[in-house]
Structure 1
C-alpha cells in the first residue's frame, strides 16, 4: 500500500515538472520561410499613334528622253527626238502626316515641292541657213518643277540603340510644270510655252531613323521616284515645231527630316519598369 502511494506521488511530481516544459516546447512557433515575391514580366511597349514629319532633300533628276513633231507644208510630218538631254540637281522640301500602326508598320501621306531643275538638251534637224535643208544642231534650255504627292507604307525592321532602319514604297501623282523652252539654231531663237499637268508617280525608299527624344526622331534616307511622261512644251508657229513630250523623269533623292509622334507609346520611350508587389506580412501565434 505504501509502495503504491509512493508511486502515485512520484507520478504527480513528474507531471508537475514535465508538463510546463512540454507545454513550452509545444507553444514555441516553428520557423516559417518567407515566400519570394512574384516576378511580374515587363509588358511589351505598345507603339502607335499619329505623327507629323518635315523633310528637305537634294535630288538629281534624270531626263528619260523627249519627242516632238516638226510640221511641213505637206505630209507626212516629221517626228523628231532629243539627241541629248540632262537635268541639274536641285533642292526640295516637304511635309506629311502619318500613323504608326505598331512597332513594325506605319503609313503616311506626303507632299514634296521639287524646286526648279535646269534642263539642257540638243536636237538634230535641218535649217534654212545658209541654204534650205541644211543639217544643223539646235541647243535647247528650260527647267521643270513639280509637286509630288504620295501615299506611303513602311516596314520598320527593328530598333537597336535608338536606330530603326526601314524600307518603304509610295504611290500617287505629280503636278509637273515645264518652263518656257528656248530653242536656238542657225535660223535664230525660238520659244515654246512649257507644258504642265498631272502625272502618275511612284516611289521606293530606304533609310533609318534615330531617337532624339522620346517623341522626336531624326529621319535620314534615300528615295527613288519615277514620274510618268507628259507634255513638255507647246507648238510654236514661228518654228512649226511642237508639241513636245518628255518620256518621264527619274528622281534620286538624299533626304533628311524630323518626325514628331503625338499619341500612343513611342518606341523611343524607355520601357516601363517591371512591377514587383511588396510581400504580405506573415503573422505567427
Structure 2
C-alpha cells in the first residue's frame, strides 16, 4: 500500500512539474504559408496587325521658287495597313515597334489664274504612298470589371509614338501632267481607343492622329513642300500574346 501511494505521489508531482515548465516556455505560433494571389497579370510579348481608314490634310503647299504659298482646300482619303512587335509589362504599360503602309489620294490645292504662268492654274491633287515606322508607348486602363492582363475584359488606352516616314508623292495638275519624288521626314502619332482582352488575343479600335512633318518634291520644275501633314485614322488592331 505504501508503495502504491508513493508511486501516485511521484506521478502527480511529474504532471504538476511538467505544467509549470510548459507555462514558463515562450509560445511561438505556427507559421502558415499563404501563396501569392494570381491576378492574371503578367508581362508578355505580342505580335500585332492593324488596318485603318484615313483622311489627310495640311495647312498649305509652299512653292519657294515662284514664290507662292497656296492653301490646302480639300482632304485626301485612303487607308493604311501595318504590323508590329511589342511587350506589355502587366502593369498597364506596353511598348511596340510598328511599320505601316499608308495610301492616300485627293488632297488638293487650287492655284489662282494669277500664277499662270509659271504654274498651271486650277486644282492640283496629291497622291501619297508612305511607309511609316514608329516606336510607341501605351497605357491601358480598365473600364469596369477588368483591367489589363490575361482575360482583363474591357479597357481603354492612350498612346504616343515617334519615328520616320518614307514618302513617295505624286502631284497631278489640271491638265493631267504629273510630277513625283521621294523624301524622308519625321513622323509622330497620338492614339486613343477602347478594346477587349480575351486572354491570348486582344482586339481594339481607336483613333490615331499621324503626323508627317514634310512631303516634298525637289526634282519638279517648280519644287514644292507640304509641311505639317496630319492623317486622321480610325484604326482596328488585333494583338496575339506569346505567353
What range is the shorter-chain TM-score in? 0.7 to 0.9
Q: 1:239 matched to which residue of 2? A: none
Q: Which runs of 5+ in 1 are unaligned?
A: 1-7, 9-14, 16-34, 71-77, 237-241, 264-285
1:50/1:88 CA distance change after superposition, 3 Å: same
What is the aligned partner in structure 1 of residue 21 from structure 2? Answer: none
Task: Find the counterpart in structure 2 of residue 176 from structure 1.
Answer: 167
Q: Judge which range, 83-92 or 164-173, deviates more.
A: 83-92
Equivalent residue number for residue 233 of structure 2: 253
Q: Distance in 2 between matches of 1:41 and 1:196?
A: 56
Counterpart selection for 2:69 from 81, 85, 106: 81
State the Cα distance separating 1:40 from its structure 2 match.
Answer: 4.9
Larger Rg over CA atoms? 1
Q: How does 1:1-285 map to 2 (within 5 A)?
A: 40=35, 42-70=37-65, 78-124=66-112, 125-127=114-116, 137-158=121-142, 160-161=145-146, 162-179=153-170, 181-184=171-174, 189=175, 191-212=177-198, 214-232=199-217, 234-236=219-221, 242-263=222-243
Query: Which gives a bigger RCO, structure 1 or 2 (Cα 8 Å, sep 6+)?
Result: 1
Contact 1:234–1:244 (8 Å) recurs in 2 = no
Q: Aligned-pair distance for 1:174?
A: 0.6
Contact 2:207/2:232 (8 A) holds in 1: yes
How high is the TM-score relative to the length of structure 2? 0.75
Q: CA deviation at 1:112?
A: 0.9
1:231 Cα deviation after fit: 1.1
Q: Is the 8 A contact 1:68 1:80 kept in 2?
A: yes
Question: Could you tell me whether the CA contact under 8 Å between 1:46 and 1:102 is conserved in 2?
Answer: yes
TM-aligned CA deviation for residue 114 of structure 1: 0.9
The answer to whether the Cα contact below 8 Å between 2:188 and 2:212 also exists between their aligned partners in 1 is yes
Q: Deviations over 1:96-138 (max 9, x none)?
A: 000112231110000111123223221122447xxxx9xx942
Divergent runs of 4+, >4 A? 37-41
Between Structure 1 and Structure 2, which shows a larger proportion of strand residues? 2
| Cα separation, 1, equivalents of 2:33 and 2:220 | 82
Does the 8 A contact of 2:124 with 2:173 survive in 1?
Answer: yes
Tell whether the 8 Å contact from 1:210 to 1:217 is kept in structure 2 after alignment. Answer: yes
Aligned length: 214
Q: Where does the alignment leave 5 or more consecutive residues of structure 2 unmatched?
A: 6-29, 147-152
